[in-house]
Amino acid sequence: GGLMNLGHRCVITLLAAAFAGPAAAQSPSVLLVVNKIENTLAFVDPATGQVAVKAQTGDGPHEVAVAPDGRTAVVCNYGGQQPGNSLTVLDVAAGKALRTFELRDPAAADGTAGRAYLRPHGIQFLPDGRRFLFYVQGGLDTAGIYLGTLDGSASTRLTPPATAFGYEPAGWLLW
């Protein structure tokens, strides 16, 4: 199926072939398209609109961010009827998912699972390409901006609840 068949169910992110300068941003080598209905990330050839490969994500993929070197992507799994609480890390060159991990507080000493961080979205890589910021929407006690890592070993809330963020060329914006 081509890009036209993906319809309104998708969110599109452009991935430049190289991140060396403005010329790279003008000629993307692949479109990364999240599909909430299929729970996939499609790798689309922008010249033909053809899907090269699809990789499985978690439930209700919402946004995708690509590391500055273009090799790794992370998808926020926002959820559908039930709130999502996971991120999927993907190898862009291979077109495959590497891992999906849950977002939650560490388990208690008695083994009880920690609170889930619901409805992740608004993801953006930091310049080091190993860490990223994302927003958790669900739950008043867990909402806020978090710092995440590619291995899922740490998700640290950086802000009080109800804070959002964005990136502008001049720097980060928090509101």
Residue 161 banded pLDDT, cuts 50, 70, 90? low
Where helices occur in the chain by DSSP H, the ranges are: 22-26
pLDDT of residue 165: 56
Residue with tokens 């609840």: 161
For residue 145, the SS3 value is strand
**pLDDT single digits (tens) 16-31:** 222 333 333 445 689 9
CA–CA separation, 172 and 175 (whole Å):
10
**pLDDT single digits (tens) 101-156:** 999 887 767 777 788 889 998 899 999 999 999 999 887 678 888 899 999 887 88
pTM: 0.78
**pLDDT single digits (tens) 65-78:** 999 999 999 999 99
